[in-house]
């Protein structure tokens, strides 16, 4: 992981976000890691925080620790609903509840999620925008989208957001594909469509990882160029702790190494 961070550091990213396991299972390690990134690199860290399975007191304690350690950027998410019955604070059922607690505690910079193809739990795109608006009203500074491969879906989402007077940046989430079969499985669970042309691009490459990397970099770069042509200049790469693909894409897009 540190090797990947050092690889990306010269690109001078705005921040690097750090996730943790389901139900906060690696929360303590995540906090330690975020703190180390803050003090050992020139990259600003953003800590993922979910509220599912937590109490208000727990979230307030975590928030204060982050603030005291100089971590003032939180990616606020609901988190996955546990398959088995477990404790759930009724005051922390949604990401909006989490944002309320965080903002009441300290004036954190808040990044939230957005879903151009609708969250699996959403009933309509209108519900998506209603939730996003509520997050903004509570203090969200930006949104990062779930990854997508049909760029037209993202651009349509942005167009609708503008018509609804949503002012915060909605940053496209770009996933360079390192394992196509796993990506398909994850995409299905997150309601992300896989275009037929994309399937054809990876056909026959299951045992050829080097060619897969080249194809993945080419596809993601083209996707970014299409979005750049629409005037959007920020991207969030889901690196999955693999820096080389994201580094190559940035190089193809003309990003200069800092220093």
CATH of the domain at 208: 3.20.20.220
Residue 142, domain extent: 2-252
Question: Tell me, what's the pLDDT at 54?
Answer: 84
Rounded to two decimals, the pTM is 0.92
Q: At which residue do the structure tokens 């360079």 appear?
A: 176
Reported as half-sphere exposure (CB side, CA atoms, 13 A), residue 243 has a value of: 13
The pLDDT-based confidence of 93 (bands split at 50, 70, 90) is: confident
Percent of the chain's residues with pLDDT above 70: 93
Question: Tell me, what's the pLDDT at 77?
Answer: 93
How far is Cα 136 from Cα 54, in angstroms, rounded to an integer? 23
* The total number of structural domains that make up the chain: 1
* Any domain includes 169: yes
Question: Average pLDDT, whole number, for the chain?
Answer: 91
* Any domain includes 60: yes
- Distance (Å) of CA 153 to CA 25, 125, 157, 227: 33, 11, 6, 11
Question: Tell me, what's the pLDDT at 155?
Answer: 97
* Any domain includes 259: no
* Any domain includes 128: yes
Q: Which of 81-90, 144-153, 155-164, 249-258 has the lowest mean pLDDT?
A: 81-90
The pLDDT of 25-47, averaged and rounded, is 88
How far is Cα 238 from Cα 176, in angstroms, rounded to an integer? 7
* Any domain includes 258: no
Question: Tell me, what's the pLDDT at 152?
Answer: 96
The pLDDT-based confidence of 53 (bands split at 50, 70, 90) is: confident
Question: Tell me, what's the pLDDT at 84?
Answer: 64
* Any domain includes 49: yes
* Any domain includes 172: yes
Structure tokens at 134: 């509520």
Pairing of strands 170-171, 73-77: unpaired
How far is Cα 18 from Cα 39, in angstroms, rounded to an integer? 15
* Any domain includes 12: yes
């Amino acid at each position: 992981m540190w090797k990947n961070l050092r690889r990306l550091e010269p690109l001078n990213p705005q921040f690097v976000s750090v996730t943790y396991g389901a139900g906060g299972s690696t929360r303590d390690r995540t906090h330690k890691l975020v703190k180390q990134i803050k003090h050992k690199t020139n990259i600003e860290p953003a800590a993922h925080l979910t509220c599912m399975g937590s109490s208000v007191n727990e979230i307030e304690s975590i928030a204060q620790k982050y603030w005291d350690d100089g971590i003032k950027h939180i990616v606020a998410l609901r988190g996955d609903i546990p398959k088995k019955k477990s404790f759930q604070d009724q005051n922390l059922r949604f990401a909006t509840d989490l944002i309320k607690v965080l903002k009441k505690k300290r004036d954190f910079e808040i990044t939230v999620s957005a879903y151009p193809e609708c969250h699996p739990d959403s009933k309509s795109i209108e519900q998506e925008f209603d939730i996003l608006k509520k997050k903004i009203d509570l203090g969200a500074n930006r949104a990062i989208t779930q990854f997508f491969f049909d760029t037209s879906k993202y651009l349509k989402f942005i167009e609708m957001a503008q018509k609804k007077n949503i002012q915060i940046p909605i940053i496209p989430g770009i996933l360079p594909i390192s394992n196509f079969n796993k990506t398909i499985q994850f995409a299905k669970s997150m309601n992300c469509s896989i275009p037929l042309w994309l399937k054809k691009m990876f056909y026959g490459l299951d045992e050829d990882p080097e060619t897969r990397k080249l194809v993945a970099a080419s596809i993601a770069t083209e996707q970014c160029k299409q979005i750049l042509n629409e005037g959007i200049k920020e991207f969030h790469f889901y690196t999955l702790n693999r820096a080389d693909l994201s580094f190559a894409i940035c190089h193809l897009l003309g990003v200069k190494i800092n220093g």
